[in-house]
Amino acid sequence: MSKKIAVIDYGMGNLRSVVKALEYVAEGKAEVLLTSNPDLVAISDHVVFPGQGAARDCMAALRDTGMDEVVIEAAHSKPFLGVCMGMQVLMTHSEENGGTDLLNLFRGEVRRFPDNADGERLKVPQMGWNTIHEVQRDHPLFKGIHDNSHFYFVHSYYVSPADPSLTAGETDYGVTFTSAIARDNVFAMQSHPEKSAEAGLQLLRNFISWDGTA
C-alpha cells in the first residue's frame, strides 16, 4: 500500500503547486491528497499544512471549516510540514491585523519586519530568494541540502519563538529571524519549498521519507 500524504485545504489560496511538487518527488511511491476532509487527514501517513494570506483570514478559515482542530491533532501525531502561513499560525499570537490569536501549538510571536534596517529602508514584504542557515544541521529534512542554500520567500511577518531551541533555520533580512522550526514530528518553514528549485524539492523528498523523529 502506498504512503498517503494529506495536503490540508482550508480554502486559502491555490495549493496546486504544492501538490504538484509533492507528486513529482514522490515518483509514484506515495499518494498526494488535497483535502478538507478530517477523515482523510486522519488516515494519512504524512500531513502538509500550507497557507497564505493574512493571519486573521487564515484563522477564520480554519475555524469556519473546523480544520483548526484537525491541524492540531495532525501536528501531535504524524510527520507534519508547515509552509509559509502554515508555519506562522502554529505560534501563539501575530501582530498582523492589529493582533491575531493563533493556534498556540508553540509559544511565540509573529512580528512584522521593521521599516528600516541599518539606517536604510527595508523593502517589505521580503519577496525573492534568500539563504537559510541550518541551526539544526543534523535534522533529517536538511539531509542533502547545503547550509546557506537558497529558498524562495514571500512574507511581511516572521516567527519569533519563545524557546530558541525550536529554531531549525535562520535567515537575515534586516533582522536575523527564525525561518524554520523543528520539534519532534513537526517541521515548518517560512519559505516555499515547492518554489525553491532543487533545495526545496530535496526537502520535500526528505519529508516524504521522514518517520517523524529527529
Known catalytic residues are: 84, 192, 194
Look at residue 41 and give its three-state secondary structure. Answer: helix
Residue 109 burial (CB < 10 Å; 0-12/13-18/19+)? middle
Tell me the DSSP string of 46-102: EEEE---S-HHHHHHHHHHHTHHHHHHHHHHHS-EEEETHHHHTTSSEESGGG-EE-
How many CA atoms does the CB half-sphere of 180 hold within 13 Å? 29
CA distances from residue 81 to 19, 65, 181 in whole angstroms, order as listed: 13, 20, 10
Is there a contact between 148 and 169 (Cβ–Cβ < 8 Å)?
no
DSSP 8-state secondary structure symbol assigned to residue 143 = T
**Residue 125, preceding peptide bond in cis (omega within 30° of 0):** yes
